[in-house]
């Protein structure tokens, strides 16, 4: 299915690989002018932008730094004039039990997974027109803890899902729709289906498999479209039935 998104503009954080790259590619295929951020892999970012053509731009920004999150928004505004679709995908995944996961590690994960979402949204909202979209890539771990050591990561994802619900109220009068996508296990270079976690994790899903990045990107494209015009404040699981 395709959606009528031609002429829209977007900013996708963490857009050079995995779910982020799939979202960038899907939006670009829908005719969306798309800016995306990367931290350090300039070659991969430039390769993706070049492949997608003149409507795509890569912006170096470390999500752990609120000033850089704001600067990425400003560079997108400079390039496109406004942001119709803001997708927060940048995040880090680190686990460990409370006895081993120290406060610095907790704060680093919170800085990327929560603070960057807040800082980027705060900077972007004045430049999001009526009818705009904010989409946050959360996680099914916002509500389900299948293994030991997931507390800190799950807490960051529960926090951004809560922000989504609050912002849906805050921005409803402007018809800006705010939603979270909560993926389950997805086949990426950070968590490959060929890796050691496949057997225990896929076995917990109803479909007995990992998802594909494109399956998450499909939901992002839907939420960005007019087809989702009465959906806001939702946390939508794309998890193969892991959270059943």
Within a domain: 18:
yes
In a domain, 180, yes or no: yes
Q: Helix, strand, or coil here: 148?
A: coil
Name the pLDDT band for 191 (thresholds 50, 70, 90). confident
CA 227 to chain centre: 20
pLDDT above 70 coverage of the chain, percent: 100
The per-residue pLDDT for 189 is 87
Range of the domain at 34: 9-238
User: At residue 2, does pLDDT exceed 90?
Assistant: no
**CA-wise closest residue to 129 among 171, 183, 190, 78:** 171
The reported pTM is 0.97
Residue 2 maps to a domain: no
Residue spans of beta strands (DSSP E) within the chain: 9-12, 33-38, 56-60, 85-88, 133-137, 177-183, 235-238
Q: Residue 244: inside a domain, yes or no?
A: no
Report the C-alpha dihedral over residues 157, 80, 69, 115, rounded to 10 degrees: -30
* Residue 38: predicted pLDDT: 97
* Token code pair at residue 150: 């997931």
- pLDDT value of position 146: 87
Tens digit of each residue's pLDDT (9 = 90 or more) over 15-67:
999 999 999 999 999 999 999 999 999 999 999 999 999 999 999 999 999 99
pLDDT over 80 (residue 234): yes
Would you say residue 1 lies in a domain? no
Residue among 20, 35, 82 nearest 216 (CA): 20
pLDDT of residue 197: 85
pLDDT bucket at 196, cuts 50 / 70 / 90: confident
* Res 173 pLDDT > 80: yes
Q: Is residue 177 part of a domain?
A: yes
The pLDDT of residue 190: 81
Is residue 47 a part of any domain in this protein?
yes
Residue 221 clears pLDDT 90, i.e. is over it: yes
Average model confidence (pLDDT) across the chain: 96
Q: What is the total count of domains within the chain?
A: 1
Annotated active-site positions, please? 153
Does residue 63 fall inside a structural domain? yes
What average pLDDT score do residues 78-96 get? Answer: 96
- Please determine, for residue 120, whether its predicted confidence score (pLDDT) is greater than 90: yes
Domain CATH number, residue 153: 3.40.50.720
């Amino acid at each position: 299915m395709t959606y009528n998104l031609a002429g829209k503009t977007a900013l996708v954080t963490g857009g050079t690989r995995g779910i982020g790259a799939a979202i960038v590619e899907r939006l670009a295929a829908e005719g969306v002018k798309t800016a995306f951020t990367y931290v350090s892999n300039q070659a991969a970012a430039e390769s993706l932008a070049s492949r997608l053509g003149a409507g795509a731009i890569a912006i170096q920004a470390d999500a752990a730094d609120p000033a850089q999150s704001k600067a990425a928004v400003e560079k997108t505004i400079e390039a496109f004039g406004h942001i119709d679709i803001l997708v927060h995908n940048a995040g880090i995944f680190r686990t460990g039990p409370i006895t081993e996961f120290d406060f610095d590690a907790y704060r680093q994960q919170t800085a990327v997974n929560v603070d960057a979402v807040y800082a980027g949204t705060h900077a972007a909202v004045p430049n999001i027109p009526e009818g705009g979209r904010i989409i946050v890539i959360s996680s099914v771990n916002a509500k389900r803890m299948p293994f030991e050591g997931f507390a800190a990561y799950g807490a960051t994802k529960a926090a951004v899902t809560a922000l989504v619900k609050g912002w849906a109220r805050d921005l409803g009068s402007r018809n800006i729709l705010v939603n979270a996508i909560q993926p389950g296990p997805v086949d990426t270079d950070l968590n490959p289906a060929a890796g050691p976690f496949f057997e225990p994790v896929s076995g917990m899903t109803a479909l007995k498999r990992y998802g594909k990045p494109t399956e998450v990107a499909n939901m992002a494209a839907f939420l960005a479209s007019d087809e989702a015009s009465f959906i806001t404040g939702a946390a939508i699981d794309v998890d193969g039935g892991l959270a059943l």
